[in-house]
Chains A and B, each alone.
Chain A
Amino acid sequence: MSALAVQVRKYRGQFTGMTAHALQRATGLFLLVYLFLHVRTIHELSKGPAAFNAALATFHHPLFKLLEIALFGTVILHALNGVRITILDLGLGHDRQRRMFWAYAIGLGALLFLAGAIPLFLSAV
């Protein structure tokens, strides 16, 4: 067996858990940065209609519709994997944690994402 095959075999069982863990942190940080930008825009409400509408004008660019859809996907991934983590923390489903990640966080997540992303996209075109 080659050295690479040994390494693959050694870490194969850890790959899913580590991927889920890294993904949860990366999406969490992304959402925190988004929350900062979101509050920054919403804060313009306190300066009256002209200032707030000027702040909103930035987001009329079509690029922001795609970013909105990306945000939607990030939220779904973080939320579904977060529910998976909570289920594992309750002591349930440890023997199925990998399947829960792929079938539930990724699989069901992709279905939910398409169900939401398609109408969001169609409303913009």
Chain B
Amino acid sequence: MTATYRNVIGWYLQRITGALLVVLLAAHFWVEHFMSQELRRGDLSYEAILGRIANPVWQFIDIAFLLVALYHGLNGLRNIVLDYSRIGRRAAQAITLVIVSAGAVWAWWGIEAFKKL
């Protein structure tokens, strides 16, 4: 697969994940910031959050949301870094590798939050 073709896929996925995030983020804000009485009163707690995320469906949605957001955010970061740097192919690959690795650790960091529920 040529580099150009890969870049087109990246561009396309940025739009797809962006569209998904509009829906997921609107739902997230609605549920967590507007409908959550605990958060609105300012006394959010472990117990209040547990009530929602003990449900496996919410765990699935939250983890999928995290992965889509991480792809979109880190791909955006990569676009910005590569846009402002005049570097060769190898250096660009190294930057991609660093960002992908950071994304993998970051995703695991988020998913681990659910391990004791």
Partners in one complex: yes
- Residues of A at the B interface (CB closer than 8 Å) are 25, 28-29, 31-32, 35-36, 39-40, 42-46, 48-49, 52-53, 56, 59-60, 65, 68, 72, 75, 79, 82-83, 86, 89, 116, 119-120, 123-124
Q: Among the listed B29, B43, B69, B115, which residue makes an inter-chain contact with A72, where contact means beta carbons less than 8 Å apart?
A: B29
Residues of chain A lying within 8 A (CB to CB) of residue B113: 39, 42-46
Residues of chain A lying within 8 A (CB to CB) of residue B26: 79
B44 CB within 8 Å of chain A: yes
| Residue among B34, B42, B43, B77 having the largest count of chain A Cβ atoms under 10 Å | B42
Determine the residue in chain B with the shortest Cβ distance to A44: B113
- Residues of B at the A interface (CB closer than 8 Å) are 15, 18-19, 21-22, 25-26, 29, 33-34, 40-47, 49, 66, 69-70, 73-74, 76-77, 80, 106, 109-110, 112-117
The A contact surface, by secondary structure, is helix
**A32 CA to B81 CA, complexed, in Å:** 14
Known: A45-B117, A56-B45. Contact between A39 and B76, CB under 8 A?
no
Known: A46-B112, A59-B44, A82-B18. 18 other contacts (CB 8 A): A28-B76, A29-B76, A32-B74, A32-B77, A35-B70, A35-B73, A36-B106, A39-B110, A46-B113, A48-B46, A56-B46, A68-B33, A72-B29, A86-B18, A86-B19, A89-B15, A120-B33, A120-B34
The B contact surface, by secondary structure, is helix
**A83 CA to B14 CA, complexed, in Å:** 12
Residues of chain B lying within 8 A (CB to CB) of residue A89: 15
